[in-house]
Structure 1
């Protein structure tokens, strides 16, 4: 029964798309233009305004957790969720109206559909608010339970120790987190399914948002199981649509450009045309997938609802659509050609901005930490020998105020002792073996102070001095600034941290020193941070992000890469430095790339921009 129903729904939806695709396409273009000019700027500004109410231009890393659970943060999270739903639903709303019209052998123009959508935005926002509130209320107990699990099992450990040593407590907590996650999926998933038809109910029958939710519950309760298969198929199609384009174009690009002579006169026009074709194909596939999703949703709702007394009356102007679609089909080649010309023009403008200079700085992560103990003099010396330009090192303050080179907040991992950094003095720890954990041959290694490290590195390698915090510091930032100024190290280092407020304080104390914000994730406007460098993880380091940073004269450092393929990929994305545990591999990658022709380098960089 479910399979035959699914086949019927998908078949009818496909016929709807074939019949009214011209109106759907024009509506899609109108809506995209409306979104770019009005919706996205307004919603982006409002989201950033909410963040600025917290007193920050951007919120990053662990501060995000505190922000999310603050009153302003809860408002921001709810606003972001509702806005996302409204943008998605608004794109679908006009297509639903067009599909319903064709199902009654009527025609709704793209302009009319856009007008319907614009006037329905307040209702979409109210419906989105009801969805978000209900989901958040169901999430709240689960989040509270996860906080308790963390406090009971994990709070006493340094976070890096947990993920490198994996004590039993981590596995217990992980299993409990997994059970809570399964509960979230079941509870919120059931709610999602029950309210799945609330959008078409509100739009088709002009119901109030709350009434639309009730109608959806009633309809799903009657034939909920029959929905599962078509929803899964449509969702899989939506998720897999990018692969429909990227996989064949990756294969075709590899075949074409590996056999094309490396002459810029040939490569440049071929690249522009190929990129234009890719953009056109991606846009076309994206449109047809969204149109098909909308048609499936429209058919599902009309099949599940009981016919009303006005079912055969006209809701829109009674104009047959089949002849209209045929008329548009004759103009399809011209429409495709126009789209291709626009895509080629855009591709040419992008290719024109690609820089074929791929020299970057090599940053040794905690020194050459693959072959020597991290944060040690041995790791620094080895990084220098292996050709690193920068040595990234961690510094933390002990209980007596001494600043030492160390990553964790306790000594479990590097010395096998439970003491925490703020509980001991340098005199107590200076004799501890902090090298045997890596290898017995480094048993002579001892904890080094910031002054010791500056003397070793002076004139030999630049330092990336990362400030680590445990919450018990005493004039930590002031002492770092004093030490660096006294050592005249302004030209030889950059000071970085996950703590944005700490960087601001350091910048006030030492305004002539370069600073870098380390970002694992961020909310707000990271490009507006007062920082010379953005040190970001690989997930954030997209080509667009790197380009945006360069436009505001910020350098981008990405962490932490240890294989040649990943290194090459991020070099092609335009980053300024790669942080690695193995500087030798990155140095070899850069040597090989220096032998590439400008045409070959251009191809690699373009592939990262368009296909990565």
Structure 2
């Protein structure tokens, strides 16, 4: 293991410049060429389906549509090609370096272009599956595009964690994925170096890893721990330097510079993470082959392009002669980044001061959720908004309740839409919470509107569990009757309900609740997005701002998550703990 580690680091030292240049150039290529192509294909799929943006569970409609399935296959094939070429170039460079042979970046790239047709056929389905393992480990725009909006919603995670069976199943799936990854880990090496078909390459990888699974896992873990330890040591040492500066203002200035510099080094570190692992795996590949008695020889034929080779040499020669100019450009860029970072860090204390706070279901920590007592306790905390869930009873009364039925809050198996208000009004939703709230009844929207008027605003979440058009119409009527059009936001998972509200009263702000989205959200006619935390990204925020739409995040409760979402230019936070948010954003200052 020690010799393998040392030799891998020696290989890396000899070739790290090539890896950096290639990764940077290929990142630009994917960002300007491949990602737009994939985005175009996906948008054409939505057009063919006759659909606008797909929200939340609507994403599964793609799998139920012929055009959707075809589009997904095309996108998967394009993704396989992009990832295959990137990993392939890294493998070619590391393989030639293993045999102490020099190879240019353009030669490695052309070689992979020529080898790409080999992956087509039945075996490409296996590569599509294999790429799911590789995407999280690469630093390309395509990887972020593919996984940016893929997340497990909070309520699904809670369901998994609350069930021993689901948790066990989740762990079993996770371990199965790790197992397959370890067994297929040399598939690309066999395709590229030995020229085998995809299926044959998978078979060879299964053979070579048959009795080496634990060994491969341990070696990969130890190697990456060592690599991360080096990086962490360097970054920690850099971040400690400002502590030795005594002048307060100078220390702050220098500290911000070193924060920026360490961020730059972190980016380089991440960029080199994949290449150094490819170097390690290539050496491991030949080590296992040697133990099986396979003679070590260079079987990899490469292809050249005279034009690209000349261009690469000219650029290399220019950079070599203009080292000072290159360092000046990099230094200027780093200084510009620093001053921007310095400006941001100087004002970071103000981030979030204008963020609005909505009490989720009133104050569910100190009173039964969605109850009148819960709403009043939220008002006592001086929140900007109180967020409530509403449904329509069988006889048309709008009441507060989150679930489709009353099991959780009142212990009865009735759906709200199937019973009258008279029947609901006799139920006690307080005794399960505490003796203090014994006798607490289910609140009506009218009661809440009267309670919050002139004290706070409301976010009314329409639950589409029955009588949807009538629900939307009645809520709008009540908001108008109590003259609270300016003080009420209406949100829902169901966009058709929001369309009804818009048609009834365009002055009421409406918002789309999302935990997943695909397609062009600008086509939605809404005033704000209410998103799950994992959907947040700078790209998403910028897109919302271009359409002058607010961004609210739900349901953010622990301190770490609150600070995380405040890094973004959001408008509001929906939380069970308004006090925590108020403390972090300086509410009492």
Q: TM-score band, normalised by the shorter chain?
A: 0.7 to 0.9
Contact residue 481 and residue 509 of structure 1 kept, 8 A: yes
Deviation at 1:389, TM superposition (A): 0.6
More off after superposition, 430-439 vs 349-358: 349-358
- Work out whether 1:214 is the aligned partner of 2:214: no
- Structure 2 residue 280 is the aligned partner of structure 1 residue 296: yes
* Secondary structure of the structure 2 residue equivalent to 1:291: helix
Query: How far apart are the structure 1 equivalents of 2:107 and 2:374?
Result: 67
Tell me, yes or no, if the aligned pair for 1:106 and 1:316 is still in contact at 8 Å.
Answer: no
Name 2:87's counterpart in structure 1. 92
Matched position secondary structure for 1:108: coil
Is the Cα contact below 8 Å between 2:80 and 2:128 reproduced in 1?
no
Which one of the candidate residues 184, 189, 196 is aligned to 1:200?
Answer: 189
> Is 1:9–1:296's contact at 8 Å kept on the other side of the alignment?
yes
Q: Deviations over 1:373-403 (max 9, x none)?
A: 2212222222222110111011012222322
Gaps in structure 2 of 5+ consecutive residues: 132-153, 310-315
1:62 to 2:57 alignment: yes
Aligned partner of 1:151 in structure 2 is none
Q: Residue deviations 1:284-312, cap 9 Å, x none?
A: 21233222112123334444558689747
Structure 1 equivalent of residue 125 of structure 2:
130
Give the SS at the match of 2:32. helix
CA contact (8 A) 1:108 1:316 kept: no
| TM-score normalised by L of structure 2 | 0.79
Change (3 A) 1:587 1:114: same
Match of 2:135? none
Superposition deviation, residue 351 in structure 1:
5.6
Count of aligned pairs between the two proteins: 549
Q: Identify if the C-alpha distance between structure 1 residues 268 and 333 changes in structure 2 by more than 3 Å, giving closer, same or farther.
A: same
Aligned equivalent of 1:371:
366
Indicate the residue corresponding to 2:333 in structure 1: 342
Q: Note the 1:79-158 alignment, pairs <5 A.
A: 82-121=77-116, 123=118, 129-131=124-126
The CA deviation at 1:163 is 9.5
Shift of 1:462: 0.7
Which residue of 504, 510, 518 maps to 1:515? Answer: 510
Shift of 1:109: 0.9
The DSSP-based 3-state class of the residue aligned with 1:494 is strand
Change beyond 3 A, Cα 1:316–1:190 = same
Q: Which moved more, 1:96-105 or 1:482-491?
A: 482-491
Match of 1:466? 461
What are the superposed Cα offsets for residues 407-463 of structure 1, whole Å, 9 maximum, x if unpaired? 111111221211111221112112222222222222332222223322222222111
- State the match for 2:478 in structure 1: 483
Deviations 1:55-111 (A, max 9, x none): 444323333345555555555655565555444333221121112222333221112
Structure 1 residues 199, 314: CA separation in 2 closer, same or farther (over 3 Å shift)? closer
Cα distance, 1:364 vs. partner?
1.0
The structure-2 alpha-carbon separation of the partners of 1:135 and 1:556, relative to structure 1 and needing over 3 Å to count, comes to same
Q: 1:251 to 1:133 in 2, by over 3 A?
A: closer
**Using the alignment, how far apart are the partners of 1:493 and 1:330 within structure 2?**
65
Preserved contact between residue 356 and residue 573 of structure 2 (Cα < 8 Å): yes
Deviation of residue 269 (structure 1)?
7.0
CA distance in 2, matches of 1:410, 1:313: 65
Q: Does 1:39 align with 2:62?
A: no
Tell me if structure 1 keeps the 8 A contact 2:393–2:419. Answer: yes
Q: RMSD over aligned Cα, in angstroms?
A: 4.2
Give the whole-Å Cα distance in 2 for the aligned partners of 1:8 and 1:225. Answer: 21
For residues 533 and 122 of structure 1, the distance between their equivalents in structure 2, rounded to whole angstroms, comes to 46
Partner of 2:552: 557
- For 2:497, the equivalent position in structure 1 comes to 502
Mark the CA change 1:132 to 1:84 in structure 2 (over 3 Å): closer, same or farther: same
1:130 Cα offset (Å): 1.8
Q: Which runs of 5+ in 1 are unaligned?
A: 1-5, 137-158, 320-324, 595-612
How far apart, CA to CA, are the structure 1 residues paired with 2:269 and 2:535?
26
1:426 to 408, 421, 425: 421
SS at match of 1:588: helix
Matched, 1:575 2:570: yes
Q: Does 1:281 align with 2:272?
A: no
CA distance in 1, matches of 2:244, 2:522: 37
Report how far residue 494 of structure 1 moved: 0.8
For residue 459 of structure 1, give the secondary structure of its aligned residue in structure 2: coil
Task: Give 1:218 deviation, angstroms.
Answer: 2.8
CA deviation vs aligned residue, 1:150-203 (integer Å, no higher than 9, x gap): xxxxxxxxx98x999x9xxx99x9344345445545665554444332222222
Partner of 2:220: 234
Matches for 1:262-411 after TM superposition, within 5 Å: 267=252, 270-271=255-256, 273-304=257-288, 311=298, 315=302, 338-349=329-340, 356=348, 357-358=350-351, 359=353, 360-411=355-406
- In 2, Cα distance between the equivalents of 1:349 and 1:127? 50
Return the alpha-carbon distance in structure 2 between the equivalents of residues 251 and 592 of structure 1: 36
Kept in 2, the 8 Å contact 1:275–1:344? The answer is no
Contact 1:390 1:461 in 2 (8 A): yes
Distance 1:256 1:353, change over 3 A: closer
Give the direction of change, closer, same or farther, for the CA distance of 1:253–1:73 in structure 2 (3 Å limit). farther
- Report the Cα distance in structure 2 between the residues aligned to 1:67 and 1:183, rounded to whole angstroms: 27
Aligned residue for 2:365, secondary structure, equals coil
